[in-house]
């Protein structure tokens, strides 16, 4: 097993997890804006937030899939002893 490569892959995995967490935070903030719109409705802003929410959700899904695939590569490399 190439320890340096494995360490680099783990560092990349950590960055991917950070990206996922950031996207989930964006979704949370969008949800707060959407909730605020119940008090002061604005159809244009609501439509924009709905679209942004969908895009952020799609990003989270893509990053999760990338994380899963990358974790499998790491596990495979770890088990090549």
At residue 81, the pLDDT reads: 61
Work out the widest C-alpha separation in the chain, in whole angstroms: 61
CA distance 27 to 34: 10
For the chain, what is the domain count? 1
The DSSP 8-state label assigned to residue 37 in this structure reads T
At residue 69, the pLDDT reads: 98
- Residue 41 counted as domain residue: yes
- Residue 10 counted as domain residue: no
Residue 21: φ, ψ to 5°? -60, -40
- Residue 38 counted as domain residue: yes
| 8 A C-beta contact, residue 60 and residue 24 | yes
- Residue 56 counted as domain residue: yes
At residue 61, the pLDDT reads: 97
- Residue 3 counted as domain residue: no
CA distance 7 to 58: 29
pLDDT, averaged in runs of 10, over the chain (81 residues): 90 98 97 97 98 97 98 93 61
* CA angle in degrees (0–180, nearest 5) for 76-71-12: 115
Range of the domain at 66: 16-78
Q: What's this model's pTM, rounded to 2 decimal places?
A: 0.85
At residue 43, the pLDDT reads: 97
- Residue 65 counted as domain residue: yes
């Amino acid at each position: 097993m190439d320890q340096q490569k494995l360490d680099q892959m783990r560092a990349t995995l950590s960055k991917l997890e950070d990206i996922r967490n950031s996207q989930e935070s964006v979704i949370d903030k969008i949800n707060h804006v959407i909730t605020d719109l119940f008090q002061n409705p604005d159809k244009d802003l609501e439509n924009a937030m709905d679209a942004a929410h969908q895009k952020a959700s799609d990003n989270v899904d893509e990053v999760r899939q990338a994380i899963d695939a990358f974790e499998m590569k790491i596990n495979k490399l770890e088990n090549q002893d």
